[in-house]
Amino acid sequence: MIELIPAIDLIGGQCVRLTQGDYAAKTVYSTDPAQIARQLERQGFRRLHVVDLDGAKSKHIVNAATLKAITSATSLVVDFGGGIKTDADIETAFDNGAAMVTIGSVAVTSPDLFTRWLQKYSPDRIILGADVRNGKVSINGWKEDSGEDLLPFLSRYVEQGVRHVLCTDISRDGMLSGPAAELYSQVMAAYPTLHLIASGGVGSNADIIDLNRRGIPAVVFGKAYYEGKIDIEQLRQLWD
């Protein structure tokens, strides 16, 4: 069954969501992300995806204290991304309780550094972030398009041992219009052993059920959860 991973995105220590990565299109859902994390744990979730949007924009981790508050308040397996650019950043993430980290921009701009981290921390703790706009990988908080095509980008790192990939279709993020299911199916057809995490566009239980039917290993969702578009009890019945 598909792994269900709710998301908490952070700006100024608050739980927010953007629309298509637009920092000007921000909705604040809670001023206490740790309380949201506790609620998610009570509902039966085991994983949590935390994104430091301030960090992604500033190119260094900003919300380390909020990450620590979340990991101290729950036993959730937290993967953390946003602003991890240096050895100090990745150590900060792990020191503040992250079990895994999502690395996107560095994999594009500093492939040797990414490969070193993959070897040092192991492929079980490093998630390759592949945020896509019009088929090209975007970096630095989705502000820049790298020119890298998705599948060759993935191929390079799968050959180096990457096992976990978080792929976000930026055009769908926060739109509740459905995920890029065909894109994820193409990725899985090319790399069937990947633990692919689909992200962006989930707007209903039906979207999650369709991804599961397609054999997508995991899905991240945020806005749909916060706006009551997902029926957690129905999903629990399907998965239990």
Largest CA distance in the chain: 45
Give yes or no: 131 in active site: yes
Distance CA 203, CA 108 (A): 30
Half-sphere exposure of 25 (CA within 13 A, CB side): 9
> Which residue of the set 79, 89, 131, 173 is catalytic?
131
Distance CA 120, CA 127 (A): 13
- Residue type at position 202: V
Give yes or no: 124 in active site: no
> What DSSP letter does each residue of 43-74 carry, written as one string?
TT--EEEEEEHHHHHHTS---HHHHHHHHHH-
Q: For residue 123, which phi and psi values (nearest 5 degrees)? A: -65, -15
Residue 3 and residue 47 in contact, taking contact as beta carbons nearer than 8 Å = yes
Q: H or E element: which one contains 232?
A: helix 232-239
Residue 21 in tokens: 């990565």
The residues that are catalytic are 9, 131
